[in-house]
Structure 1
Amino acid sequence: MTSYASGTSDVPLLGDTIPANLIATAARFPDRDALVEFATGRRWTYAEFAADVDRVAHGLLARGVGKGDRVGVWAPNCAEWTLVQYATARVGAILVNINPAYRVSELKYVLNQAGVRMLVAAESFKTSDYRGMIDEVRPQCPALRDVVLIGVDFDDLRVDGDAAALDAIELSSDDPINIQYTSGTTGFPKGATLSHHNILNNGFFVGELCGYTETDRICIPVPFYHCFGMVMGNLAATSHGACMVIPAPAFDPVASLRACAEERCTSLYGVPTMFIAMLAELGELDLSSLRTGIMAGSPCPAEIMKQVIDRMGMTEVTICYGMTETSPVSTQTRADDTIDRRVGTVGRVHPHLEIKIVDPATGRTVPRGEPGEFCTRGYSVMLGYWDQPDKTAEAIDSARWMHTGDIAVMDADGYVQITGRIKDMVIRGGENIYPREIEEFLYTHPDVLDAQVIGVPDQRFGEELMAWIRMRPGTTPLTAESVREFCAGKLAHYKIPRYVHVVDEFPMTVTGKIRKVEMRAAAVEILGLE
């Protein structure tokens, strides 16, 4: 049996656009909560939210923004971000998500690469002076004609107008509506270009597998600039009439838990590192309303998943796997999957999609149980990288399969395990080693809070293993020797890390993904391997 699966469903794909879907939801549930900004207490019903979206859409038109124009949004999570997301879709403009962590050179690159006409931005946040950086790059960005600052002149974008003017704009569900820049851990980031059809359907089916209805309230501490926040969060909510709850502008474990308790959230999102932080702050909060949620972004340690279910009551929590270029979700566990399935796999193929696992060298589909590269095909695959046909051709083959670069194994029942990135795989003395397996084992050490394993250069074996470890508070830091003793007899000798480095935190992207490329560069210096 080959490692191929297709997702059947009795529920058809949605054929409408994002604004048409929102208008239909607001008509069905006008008085239900649509959006709550927990930090400020601002809240919108669906009728109020749809009306405010239209006001911002009229404001865009009044400033000359039309179908196909690019509108950048550069801000932490806030209600205005969400309003811009839906207002740009209403007029057919293409929303360009800009990472809040970007600095001057990255901002200039994205504004010019996408040809951004209008930029909606926060004035500042934490150590970022957005206004100052915009002033610095603006003369070098010829396409940029308009800047709107949230909290300064954003209300000027809210303009009353005739709905007929908006309804007259001809939109197709296949129009590009969103550009999301990939992390760019190597080289310049690439702009994954996504359509209404891509992201509306992906958000909808993520919500279907979480069992969402209009009674659900989703706490979204993950960033909106990424698919996790704006698709799996916002679009999953609005396509079901559920409520979007913004706990804080950026991830704050205490604010997230308080928002869940006080807003009676039924669902909570996060990457594993976020859940680790929240578990440490649980206290006496009443989280009895929590039912489900999503853990994604990087592999979930088994122990963390069990605690999320036992201590936070998220009995139906699901694991999602995907990438920006696929809108993002390709596989998801189901609410009735066993704990083992939820901690050991990333689930089965999503409805209406195809997946396969291929030999990276030959492109042939491998038998079930054998590792290879994960590929996916279907409605979720991006239109392409913005203005980079050569990069698009490298990622999407002639048969429209998206090649993810992830190593995966599919079992007899179609459940998929992600065992690493092709580029993260360590080859030590001819042995292929998948760091995930070693990380999972190190999590079983009672003093280990978190662990990441990388390959570092070695003259004899080509590569050697190094473990970066975060210790539980009040414990004695592990050494290479103590880790070796712990692993002896339980891991094959070549899988035992030769080097151990104890840290307070790992280098991360804004979405909570560990930057192993940065760790490898630092390790060469730490170990004197230049």
Structure 2
Amino acid sequence: MSHAMAAGAAPKDGLSHVTGPGEPPLKQATIPQLLREAVASHGDAEALVFCETGQRLTYRAFAQEVDRCAAGLLSLGVTQGDRVGIWSPNRLEWVLTQFATARIGAILVNINPAYRLSELDYALNKVGCRVLITARSFKSSDYVAMIRELAPELGREVPLACSRLPELRHIVVMGDDASSGMIAFTDLTGRATPALLARLDGIEAGLAPTDPINIQFTSGTTGMPKGATLSHFNIVNNARFVTDRIALTSADRLVIPVPLYHCFGMVMGVLGAVSKGAKMIFPGEGFTPAQTLDAIAAEGATACYGVPTMFVAMLQELDRQHRDLSTLRTGIMAGALCPIEVMKRVNRDMHMREVTICYGMTETSPVSFQSFTDDPTEKRCETVGRIHPHLEVKLVDAEGNTVPVGEKGELWTRGYSVMAGYWGDEAATEASITDGWMHTGDLGVLDAEGFCTIVGRVKDMIIRGGENIYPREIEEFLIRHPEVSDVQVFGIPDDTFGEEVCAWVVLKPGSTLMAEALRDHCKGQIAHFKIPRHVRIVTDLPLTATGKPQKFVMRDRMQEMLRNEAAQNA
């Protein structure tokens, strides 16, 4: 898309309200249609490379494997609208499941690989997953053991019946070695009989682009995670427009070290690449800077995705060991603002002179703003670019009035990308969407050219290394501890991760609970990145006159305490 087409995105009448260009047109297509088009145009070209395992598939071979997986799901009784959970790091089976569920109209439920017991229990039950496809383990998480703890009745009979997971019928374990009562992924695809394969085209013909196809959990400030429900139409089009902005083509080779469970990996990465017939390169199951740089060099990659902390780690690794990255051209940095010195080094030392910045949220599929490849470096660091096609954004004050250009306001988004709603939570949906406008909760500023700067959050979300962390969820977990009377969780600045999680805890009378014991209580129950780095046992919490906790006071006091401790230890 040309800058001329984006010119209409500048605010008018001095108000912070912008509308994206109307070109290119929106695509009325499902995910399987998108893949079929890629096969028709680029069938013999490589589609996926998994560097850690050596797996490589052309678009045609990939589509065939997708069909085998889809037929296997049919053999388990999965039908349109059923929820299929995927709990795994970046693996080939993840991408196969993504397209196989879409082929038969089942709804893919993304489960964070870092989830622990209470989070897994909640997610599976919230959306009523009938099938869970899982890796055996990842890092310190033994997924099979956790599932057995949730489902002790699990035996050799299928479908299983489990009191804690009443909707779940089948568990598929990636690989070719099934545990008792579970199905090996290779056995699942082996169930693809000619009769089942013959049903796929007919099922797909009955799907509509507006059908829900994906649920992604995004935490709220007022409770447990909510399931943002997205359609083919939402994510197919967002994937197209994201990769349009980096001028991705079938000649490109895109490295995807970001997680597939997140929109960054599965929408901007996988679907974006498929929309252009580009090659997808996955360095490993999780991100390591050395693996990612090795993949770039070995595959002659032209593009790379990541959050700023990933690029900082790659630059540090590059200082330790040189790689030839001269094939790189572009990529996307998202999740947090990029320091200008980091951007300059990425442009120079990684040859990514056309890297762009994105802003969005899961509920908007995800991207609303993105810079162009030739925007000035300062604009690419200080702003999140300009509005995407077919979207409308306004910044509003507390009364919902559009604020003047240059003033702070909450960012509201409207258009094709807004989710259908939160699964099974009508009240939360109504509170978040007004007349089609998604309330993002982010505070932004628009300038006269339509560039947007994110300046804060209406509520107290913490962003740690690109992960969105909502204090209320952690507070609700900690308050269940029998010795905890009150707790407040907030973020404090951190040089490495952007922010770190901090908890101030008031104990019940007579308790001698230590801070480290409370941290240990979190392990195995909530994701590692949510466990508070700093825990302070306090006698009371600073409150307003009306009894509301003053997190900004706690934040300031905590930073002062840490500075004093650092000075004493110096």
Q: TM-score range by the shorter chain?
A: 0.7 to 0.9
CA contact (8 A) 1:223 1:511 kept: no
Q: Against the structure 1 CA distance between its residues 526 and 339, is the aligned structure 2 distance closer, same or farther, given a 3 Å change threshold?
A: closer
Residue 52 (structure 2) pairs with residue 39 (structure 1): yes
SS in 2 for 1:198: helix
What SS is found at the alignment partner of 2:224?
A: coil
Match of 2:517 in 1: none
Structure 1 unaligned residues grouped into runs of 5+ = 426-434, 437-448, 451-463, 472-508
Q: Which residue type is aligned with residue 391 of structure 1?
A: A
Q: What is the aligned counterpart of 1:3 among 12, 16, 27? A: 16
Shift of 1:377: 0.4
Q: Deviations over 1:51-90 (max 9, x none)?
A: 1101100101111011000000000001100000000000
Does the C-alpha gap of structure 1 residues 207 and 518 become closer, same or farther in structure 2, counting only changes over 3 Å?
farther
Contact 1:185 1:515 in 2 (8 A): no
Work out whether 1:414 is the aligned partner of 2:438. no
**CA–CA distance in structure 2, aligned partners of residues 278 and 468 of structure 1:** 19
Q: Which of 264, 275, 296 is the aligned partner of 1:260?
A: 296
Distance between the aligned counterparts of 1:515 and 1:197, measured in 2?
Answer: 38
Q: Does 1:396 align with 2:396?
A: no
The residue identity in structure 1 corresponding to 2:115 is: Y
Per-residue CA deviations over 1:454-503 (Å, capped at 9, x if unaligned) read: xxxxxxxxxx99654459xxxxxxxxxxxxxxxxxxxxxxxxxxxxxxxx
1:192 aligns with 2:218: no
Quote the Cα distance in structure 2 between the aligned partners of 1:216 and 1:232.
14
2:112 equivalent in structure 1: 99
Which AA in structure 1 matches 2:72? G
Q: Please give the residue correspondences for 1:380-459 in structure 2 after superposition, counting only pairs within 5 Å.
A: 380-397=417-434, 399-424=435-460
8 Å CA contact retained: 1:297, 1:513: no
Paired residues in the alignment total: 459
Task: Please report how far the alpha carbon of residue 167 of structure 1 lies from its aligned counterpart in structure 2 after TM superposition.
Answer: 1.0
Counterparts of residues 281-320 of structure 1 (less than 5 Å): 281-282=317-318, 283-320=321-358
Q: Does 1:154 align with 2:178?
A: no
* Distance in 1 separating the partners of 2:306 and 2:442: 21
Matched, 1:136 2:149: yes
1:331-362 CA-partner distances (Å, limit 9, x unpaired): 00001211111111100000111111111x11
CA distance in 1, matches of 2:114, 2:535: 16
- RMSD over aligned Cα, in angstroms? 2.9
Q: Deviations 1:11-39 (Å, cap 9, x if unpaired)?
A: 11110100011011101111111010011
Residue 122 of structure 2: which of 89, 93, 109 is its match?
A: 109
* Pairing partner for 1:321 from 359, 369, 372: 359
Look up the match of 1:495.
Answer: none
Mapping 1:157-306, distance limit 5 Å: 157-158=188-189, 159-162=192-195, 163-169=197-203, 170-184=206-220, 187-282=223-318, 283-306=321-344
Q: What is the aligned-residue identity percentage? A: 54
C-alpha distance in structure 1 between counterparts of 2:148 and 2:460, whole Å: 39
Distance 1:251 1:143, change over 3 A: same
Q: CA deviation at 1:523?
A: 8.2
AA aligned opposite 1:270: G
Report how far residue 511 of structure 1 moved: 12
How big is each residue's C-alpha offset from its partner over 1:129-181, in whole Å with a ceiling of 9 and x where there is no partner? 10011112133101000000001311112124354411111100000000000
Among 365, 374, 395, which residue is 1:336 paired with? 374
Counterpart of 1:102, as a letter, is Y
Quote the Cα distance in structure 1 between the aligned partners of 2:93 and 2:427: 35
Provide the rounded CA distance (Å) in 2 between the counterparts of 1:72 and 1:264. Answer: 34
Of 64, 67, 77 in structure 2, the residue corresponding to residue 51 of structure 1 is: 64
Residue identity in the other structure for 2:341: E
Alpha carbons 2:211, 2:231 under 8 Å: kept: yes
Question: Which deviations, in whole Å up to 9, do the C-alpha atoms of 1:403-450 show, x marking residues without a partner?
Answer: 10101000000000001112249xxxxxxxxx99xxxxxxxxxxxx99
